[in-house]
Amino acid sequence: MRMKLSDREYKRFDRRSKWSPLFFLCVFFGVLFGLTGCSTEEESMLLEYEIHSPEILSGSSMESYTASYLSDGICVIPKKKQTKKTDPVMTAKASMMINDTDKKMLYAHNIYQKIYPASITKIVTAYVTLKYADLDDVVTVSYNASHITEPGAMKCGFMEGDEIVLRDLLYSFLIRSGNDAGIAIAEHVAGDVEAFAEMMNSEMKRLGAVHSHFVNPHGLHDDAHYTTAYDLYLIFHQLLKNELFLDIINHADYTAKFQGKDGKKKSLYFTSTDRYLLGTAVAPDGVTVIGGKTGTTAMAGSCLILYSKGPDDKQYVSVVLRAAGAVDLYTQMTHLLAMEK
């Protein structure tokens, strides 16, 4: 039986979790570091986080915990080390720019602020799918997936009974940002949306992204569905190791071929939601945009996470969350990309 917490219950659980063994260990290390003035990057990061699952330390030492819990090869940014002087161009709620090759922060503002991620949620869905599913599986689109009723929700246009290879469905999902494809993926991988969301939350915690909570695979608004800029960086950093994911986000368009309920062949053509790939937004000279994921809802504003390479061929990850609109979003993202030079 799955246990589902309300928002109020979750906050109470969050407060109780601070009295876990991990809490006392963090207090101990905090005092120790305060006296000695030294700490490792992993320990510093651990002390900045509230861990919502106290049972995670059961049977583990602090050393094995810090080694296995944090995403491999990340740029560690303690809360107090964020950019002190806010850039006047960067008016979004949260934003960051990281040289991921050298693990160096170039800019970080409100990166631990809990924010609605809109369709950037889909990178978490992609991570779970790539990790656990067989991409050669054939997915049958359900009534639930094909009948999203929320006004303005982006859809691929799949119909109930359509059969599509999971790999093609994943391309369609990320390039078109279709919420119907997200539900179809979740139901195929986990049985239903609720079970898939549990997988999403579990995988985020395994990467150290403990300030996030997801309730669906697509990012349509829910008050209990949130993340942070830094948590998104942690999972995006992992996804960039996957060649298929890199290929998907680098596509400006895609044609999905599949079979209808009646057995007839069908196809749908999609264009990316990324303006850099479409050529309607231009990166600074010398900067190559590989791709990323956009997100927009009334509550989340305009959002974008991006992977790019600079003139030095080093890899960069940039995030802008809750910009006032698309123009502001791309103005601010381009401003961040200019920091690569």
Tens digit of pLDDT for each residue in 171-223? 999 999 999 999 999 999 999 999 999 999 999 999 999 999 999 999 999 99
Task: Kindly list the strands in the beta sheet with 104-109, ordered across the sheet, starting from the edge strand earlier in the chain.
Answer: 104-109, 94-99, 315-323, 301-309, 288-297
182: exposed, middle or buried (Cβ count in 10 Å: 0-12, 13-18, 19+): buried
Domains defined along the chain, listed by start: 6-70 (no CATH), 121-218+246-273 (3.40.710.10)
Contacts of 284 (CB under 8 A, 6+ apart): 334, 337, 338, 340, 341
Q: Tell me how many degrees the CA angle 228-224-303 measures, rounded to the nearest 5.
A: 40
- As a whole number of angstroms, the distance between CA 198 and CA 202 comes to 6
Tell me how far apart the alpha carbons of residues 51 and 207 are, in angstroms, rounded to a whole number: 12
Separation CA 301–CA 229 (nearest Å): 14
Residue 97, strand partner residues: 107, 318
pLDDT (0 to 100) of residue 11: 43
The percentage of residues in the chain with a pLDDT greater than 90, rounded to a whole number, is 77
- Contact indicator for 316, 105 with CB cutoff of 8 Å: no
| pLDDT score of 86 | 81
Please tell me the distance from the alpha carbon of residue 11 to that of residue 314, in angstroms, as a whole number: 40
pLDDT band at 70 (very low <50, low <70, confident <90, very high): low
Output the pTM of the full model: 0.82
245-276 confidence digits (pLDDT tens)? 999 999 999 999 999 999 999 999 999 999 99
The whole-angstrom separation of Cα 212 and Cα 189 is: 21
Q: Which residues of 260-279 are buried (b: 16+ CB within 10 A; e: fewer)?
A: eeeeeebebebebbbbbbee
Burial profile 286-308: b = 16 or more Cβ within 10 angstroms, e = fewer:
ebebbbbbbbbbeebbbbbbbbb
Distance CA 286, CA 288 (A): 7
Q: pLDDT tens digits, residue range 128-155?
A: 999 999 999 999 999 999 999 998 899 9
Residues assigned a catalytic role: 119, 122, 177
